[in-house]
A and B are shown apart, each in its own frame.
Chain A
Amino acid sequence: MVYNYYPGCTLSTKAKQLDLYAKKAAEALGFELAELKEWQCCGAVYPLVQDEIGTRLSSVRSLAAAAAIDGKLVTLCSACHHVLKRVNSDMAENKEINAKVNAYLELDKPYQGETQVLHYLEVLRDEIGFEELAKKVVKPLTGRKIGAYYGCLLLRPAGVMQFDDPENPSILEDFIKALGAEPVVYDYRNECCGGYIALKDKSSAQNMVSKILTSAANKGVEALITACPLCSYNLQVNAAAAQPLPIFYFTELLAEALGVKEEV
């Protein structure tokens, strides 16, 4: 199986590991991530108002490109996934946005939101299956207490993202279980890390991150996993007074459990 793949800008620079481990793990699991030829930055934040058309265009170009191949597009970065998925939903549901975007882009075939945007985790859960994944694990992470840090963008708004229960998600816990480790549920796993506020107001980010880390540590979490480069950054850099925890991209643990981490 070959999936169209949208890496996004951060995965080519600061978050290379997220991308590399994902590709290695995919190989071990028997699928391939084929990078879209000419993808552009998704814009990092979803334009929340209806009259922002220009900021939706780059996402639509990638979505349309995937539609022209086989109609599936796999993402890894939470932000890219969020933006692509929501813009895609606008193209399918919002007549006004659809008409304006198509009028501007003049694609060969008007784009109607037909591409299925899949997060890498959804590929694992829905296309491969965690049970299958568990069978392919060669170095189970037995005894490790891992906390899933979901953050915001994968889960909310649930109606559009259709990813998991936004208040009580389980996909990452099931993933951790499949790798042989012990998932630890803590209260702040779906709370915001502060995101881009780290630029303008570090203390806000520090306040939020310390709540997350403390909540996780109190439940006995030994390491956190995430799918988002910005979350990963905040959790590491803005820990402030809280006890720091090792932060991994989920793909790194995946590669480790599949025995392909060393190859990177």
Chain B
Amino acid sequence: MQKIGVFVCWCGSNIAATVDVARVAESVKSIPGVAFAADYRYMCSEGGQELMQKAIKDYGLSRVVVCSCSPRMHEATFRKAAQAAGLNPYLVEIANIREHCSWVHKDKEVATAKAIALAKAAIAKVKLNTPLVSGESAVVKRALVIGGGIAGLQTALDIAEAGYKVDIVEKTPSIGGKMSQLDKTFPTLDCSACILTPKMVEAATHENITIYTYSEIEKVSGYVGQFEAVIRKKARSVSVDRCSGCGICSEKCPSKKAKSEFDQGLRNRSAIYIPFAQAIPNVPVIDRENCLKFQTGKCGICAKVCPAGAIEYEQEDELVTQKYGAIVLATGFEPIDMAKFGEFNYEYCPDVITSLEFERLTNAAGPTQGHLVRLSDGKKPKSIVFVSCVGSRDTTERGKTYCSKICCMYNAKHAMLVKEKYPDIDVQVFYIDVRTPGKSFDEFYRRAVEEYGVQYTKGMVGKITEEGDHLLVHASDVASGAQLSVPADMVVLATAIKPAADARKLATMLTASIDTNDFFTEAHPKLRPVESPTAGIFLSGVCQGPKDIPETVAQAGAAAVKVLGLLSKDKLLTNPCVATCNEQTCSGCLACEKVCPYGAISAEYKLVNVKGLKERRLIAQVNEALCQGCGACTVACPSGAMDLKGFSNKQIMAEVDAIC
């Protein structure tokens, strides 16, 4: 007979206010096998754990059920506590009476009855639990960082500095990301390139860092400590080794009609190009779609003028396979498309631009050498209107429900920079709310108003029309309840940001969770903010949620620390909840092998003891190192020989019986 201990947690008032915890403890006492039941204010506290450990010893408990918060929260805590008291950690089950009960039901009677039912199901299951022992697997001492913006660079540098190898995979021809496109950064107004370029150089020259630019992740397999990634190095058509970065090829290239991605399409670039002056590597790439040589077979000028003979038209994509212990996602963001917001006239008016375009327009290295001019006529604007929340906090299908977080601050930055350089330009900002929490942030915004005379108007813009040579901004002044028609020479839209387009594809490849907005989900919103729920996958920067540069850098460092914690281990304990085959009943049909996503099942001839006789039969064998414990095989097995440890057929059936 099992001796089961049941511990009902109050979780302060979180559970106890809605569930009669004493009654739960009392009502399970009569269940056969329950040797001890008690309730306690905080089971996860030291006192709670001691109570459990003491009971295990005093009553000789063989199984433990904790009725508390979600097992996703404290299963590990209670397993550890039981183990310290000499119990196998897998003899502990959790009944989730907080998230699944006290927090979602209001009526105390109803909630208590449900809590008792959940406790009974856990008791029924735990009776059938068996002691399990984790296996071990090795850790590859190398990390993969996907994305070469400031987030990815910072994470890679921190890992590399600690002495581990890191590979950065960046899909564009250069590392640097969005930060390299920015002019100045808030709240200090220091130049973005001046603080970013040293980091880019540091990463490029670090002995522990390998950078794959113009490359994408093709495939990822494996598991924590033992990932295997296939990296597609897209054909650059230029030899990285021979090219000296002199730039003659771009200069002489006759095809100059492609829009510069780096300059947000505000100027054209040649078909063979280096995206920007400080690009790393400082090696051009041929955009084959726009190259005459590739499209018509004629031309070949770049090869003729290249003094280093670095042009390689015949180059092909190359696949590199590499093993990693940990993977960091740092895929960043992009502004949303303005196509659905016709009222702002972005498509038809060249003087309605996005904030990122404005960054390029004010950048000394930008298409206008930093001269602020209108794209329509090249004249200096006399008045500029900035519009906040374009597509942010928008619950319709046009926009994004969340606050993009960075816009209020960069609007203040842009407004201030304009005023600083051109005090005669009128600057007006339309906003819904100004959100500036952060160190020195509100002071920064107030400076724009108080010192620079930027006019802030609470109210949204409803439409932008062209009236002759200027624009008319139709807005509301919420405070006074009036309609405004503000003439402006230029309008800058603070467009919402969204995760990079390939986030979803990567999430699927890595089985990392993603939310409805395509931001990667963290393992716990407060306590595990830089880890994905999938072991060995970490999150850095905006791919997890909107962030500014300081926050991105902080999170990038945090992700690096988590990676280092993993890489510093030689062995990892594997999940012992794996599939197991009953050799007596296995018919060797191998239906299980066909559904296994990990190739963990193989066939083997074995001598099996059947009714006292040894018989040589084909048997399914589970490789416990490869099995991840999904249980697909258990259902596919026609003879019922395949089962899953920790979630066995009997255990789940017992839960069903206890509930129904």
A–B contact (CB under 8 angstroms): yes
Given contacts A215-B465, A218-B468, contact A185 B340 (CB under 8 A): no
Would you give the shortest CB distance from B487 to chain A, in whole angstroms? 14
Would you give the shortest CB distance from B337 to chain A, in whole angstroms? 12
Whether the Cβ atoms of A167 and B348 lie closer than 8 Å is no
Whether the Cβ atoms of B339 and A168 lie closer than 8 Å is yes
Whether the Cβ atoms of B345 and A187 lie closer than 8 Å is yes
The A interface is mostly helix, strand or loop, or mixed, namely loop
Whether the Cβ atoms of A168 and B342 lie closer than 8 Å is yes
Question: What residues on B are CB-neighbors of A215 within 8 Å?
Answer: 465
User: Which residues of A from 140 to 185 have beta carbons under 8 Å from B?
Assistant: 165-168, 185
- B343 sits at the interface (CB 8 A): yes
Whether the Cβ atoms of A185 and B343 lie closer than 8 Å is no
> Cα distance A168–B346 when bound, in Å?
10
Whether the Cβ atoms of B342 and A167 lie closer than 8 Å is yes
Per-residue contact bits, chain A 233-249, to B (CB 8 Å; 1 contact, 0 not): 00000000000000000
- B347 sits at the interface (CB 8 A): yes
User: Which residues of B from 97 to 156 have beta carbons under 8 Å from A?
Assistant: none
Would you give the shortest CB distance from A65 to chain B, in whole angstroms? 33
**Which listed residue, A167, A187, A188, A218, touches B340 by the CB 8 Å rule?**
A167
> Cα distance A167–B343 when bound, in Å?
5
> Cα distance A218–B339 when bound, in Å?
24
> Cα distance A185–B348 when bound, in Å?
9
> Cα distance A215–B345 when bound, in Å?
14
Question: What residues on B are CB-neighbors of A166 within 8 Å?
Answer: 342
- B422 sits at the interface (CB 8 A): no
Whether the Cβ atoms of B340 and A165 lie closer than 8 Å is yes
Whether the Cβ atoms of B341 and A167 lie closer than 8 Å is yes
Interface size bucket, A side? under 10
| Nearest B residue (CB) for A187 | B465
Whether the Cβ atoms of A188 and B465 lie closer than 8 Å is yes
| Nearest B residue (CB) for A168 | B342
| Nearest B residue (CB) for A167 | B342
Whether the Cβ atoms of B465 and A165 lie closer than 8 Å is no
Question: What residues on A are CB-neighbors of B343 within 8 Å?
Answer: 167
Would you give the shortest CB distance from B345 to chain A, in whole angstroms? 7
Would you give the shortest CB distance from B347 to chain A, in whole angstroms? 7
> Cα distance A166–B467 when bound, in Å?
22
> Cα distance A157–B343 when bound, in Å?
15
> Cα distance A185–B342 when bound, in Å?
12
Would you give the shortest CB distance from B194 to chain A, in whole angstroms? 40
User: Which residues of B from 459 to 511 have beta carbons under 8 Å from A?
Assistant: 463, 465-468
| Nearest B residue (CB) for A188 | B465
Would you give the shortest CB distance from B299 to chain A, in whole angstroms? 35
| Nearest A residue (CB) for B344 | A167
Question: What residues on A are CB-neighbors of B468 within 8 Å?
Answer: 218
Question: What residues on A are CB-neighbors of B467 within 8 Å?
Answer: 218
User: Which residues of B from 335 to 382 have beta carbons under 8 Å from A?
Assistant: 339-343, 345, 347-348
> Cα distance A167–B465 when bound, in Å?
12
> Cα distance A188–B474 when bound, in Å?
12
Question: What residues on B are CB-neighbors of A188 within 8 Å?
Answer: 465
Whether the Cβ atoms of A187 and B341 lie closer than 8 Å is no
Question: What residues on A are CB-neighbors of B341 within 8 Å?
Answer: 167
Would you give the shortest CB distance from B568 to chain A, in whole angstroms? 54
> Cα distance A172–B466 when bound, in Å?
21
Would you give the shortest CB distance from B111 to chain A, in whole angstroms? 31
Question: What residues on A are CB-neighbors of B348 within 8 Å?
Answer: 185, 187
> Cα distance A107–B575 when bound, in Å?
64
> Cα distance A165–B340 when bound, in Å?
7
Question: What residues on B are CB-neighbors of A185 within 8 Å?
Answer: 348
Question: What residues on A are CB-neighbors of B465 within 8 Å?
Answer: 187-188, 215
Would you give the shortest CB distance from B261 to chain A, in whole angstroms? 24
Question: What residues on A are CB-neighbors of B347 within 8 Å?
Answer: 168
Question: What residues on A are CB-neighbors of B463 within 8 Å?
Answer: 187
Question: What residues on A are CB-neighbors of B339 within 8 Å?
Answer: 168
Would you give the shortest CB distance from B161 to chain A, in whole angstroms? 50
> Cα distance A32–B168 when bound, in Å?
64
Question: What residues on B are CB-neighbors of A218 within 8 Å?
Answer: 466-468
Would you give the shortest CB distance from A57 to chain B, in whole angstroms? 31
| Nearest A residue (CB) for B346 | A168
> Cα distance A167–B468 when bound, in Å?
21
User: Which residues of A from 213 to 258 have beta carbons under 8 Å from B?
Assistant: 215, 218
Given contacts A168-B339, A215-B465, A218-B466, 16 further A-B contacts (CB under 8 A): A165-B340, A165-B342, A166-B342, A167-B340, A167-B341, A167-B342, A167-B343, A168-B342, A168-B347, A185-B348, A187-B463, A187-B465, A187-B466, A188-B465, A218-B467, A218-B468
Q: What would 7 A/B residue contacts be, using CB atoms closer than 8 Å?
A: A167-B343, A168-B339, A168-B347, A187-B348, A187-B463, A187-B466, A218-B468
Closest 3 CB pairs of A and B: A167-B342, A168-B342, A187-B465
